Amino acid sequence: MFAAENGLKGDPRLEAISRSIRVIPHFPKPGIMFQDITTLLLDPKAFKDTVDIFTDRYRDMGITVVAGIEARGFMFGPAIALAIGAKFVPLRKPRKLPVLLILEFRVCFAEFTRGSYFGVLRLEYGTDCLEMHVGAVSPGDRTIVIDDVVATGGTLSAAIKLLERAGGEVVECGCVIGLPKFKVHSKIKGKPLYILVEPTELDDCFQGCRTSNVGENGH
Ligand SMILES: O=P(O)(O)OC[C@H]1O[C@H](OP(=O)(O)OP(=O)(O)O)[C@H](O)[C@@H]1O
Ligand SMILES: Nc1ncnc2[nH]cnc12
């Protein structure tokens, strides 16, 4: 579901958030319209409004865990967690979290925590898997998942699986940007998806970005 259709219709903050996101064509691959939220982070009002909208939504929902997806979910998740008084749990890309040295336990650890979707779900421009620490989420924890962009939904699906395997209850996924298709399919693995804005089309930076990207990536 989109915020504009769920209580924030006509809210000027959404328009400003949308405008603050830079679009970079053909990054990281030809054909991808990359939604660059680093420009949102450079705009303190848009950044604060983004965090506030999520905070207002989740404050009274009994949320105990905010799970942020590496890397860009780490930019929004901790502020939301602090504001609502919840734990922040990083969901990381492979081989970033410390491992335990007892072999059997390490095998169990990997089995238990790895929400791999390699070869199963195709992402917009890659495949990957997510990991989290055993014990970060406890059975019964009421969890939200925060990320910047939802495109195919593969990343959020893996996050939901991972959190549920640890016994967490995933209440909702919150993303800053989501494709319009999620107006119709507003759930991922049966969990509600809350999105602030649609991807912006080419903006004023188009020419400059395209020129530099094409050069840098050799396309
Ligand atoms: O809906 P999906 O198709 O799964 O795509 C969305 C994911 O892709 C991006 O992360 P990316 O894999 O580029 O990693 P990064 O944040 O570390 O750059 C984005 O931040 C989401 O996590
Ligand atoms: N178009 C896009 N822009 C930014 N991040 C993404 N992750 C997947 N697709 C993306």
- Best residue among 21, 38, 149 to mutate for probing ligand 2, ranked by most atoms within 8 Å of CB: 149
Residue that has been written with the tokens 């979707």 in this structure: 117
Q: Tell me the CA–centroid distance for residue 35 and ligand 2, in Å.
A: 6
| Nearest atom, ligand 1, residue 123 CA | 3
| Nearest atom, ligand 2, residue 123 CA | 8
Report the range of poorest mean pLDDT among 25-39, 54-68, 127-141: 127-141
For residue range 64-92, list pLDDT tens digits in order. 999 999 999 999 999 999 999 999 999 98
Mean pLDDT of 56-61: 98
ipTM metric? 0.98
For residue range 106-149, list pLDDT tens digits in order. 233 333 444 433 323 345 665 567 888 888 999 999 999 999 99
At 14 the pLDDT is 98
The larger pLDDT score, comparing residue 43 to residue 158, is at: 43
For residue range 170-179, list pLDDT tens digits in order. 999 999 999 8
For the chain, percent of residues with pLDDT exceeding 70 = 78
For residue 75, give the ligand nearest its CA. Answer: 1
For residue 26, give the ligand nearest its CA. Answer: 2
- Best residue among 21, 34, 156, 181 to mutate for probing ligand 2, ranked by most atoms within 8 Å of CB: 34
Residue 102 contacts residue 80 (beta carbons within 8 Å)? no
At 185 the pLDDT is 77
- Best residue among 21, 26, 33, 35 to mutate for probing ligand 2, ranked by most atoms within 8 Å of CB: 35
Ligand 1-lining residues (CB < 6 angstroms)? 69-72, 123-124, 126, 128, 147-155
At 120 the pLDDT is 32
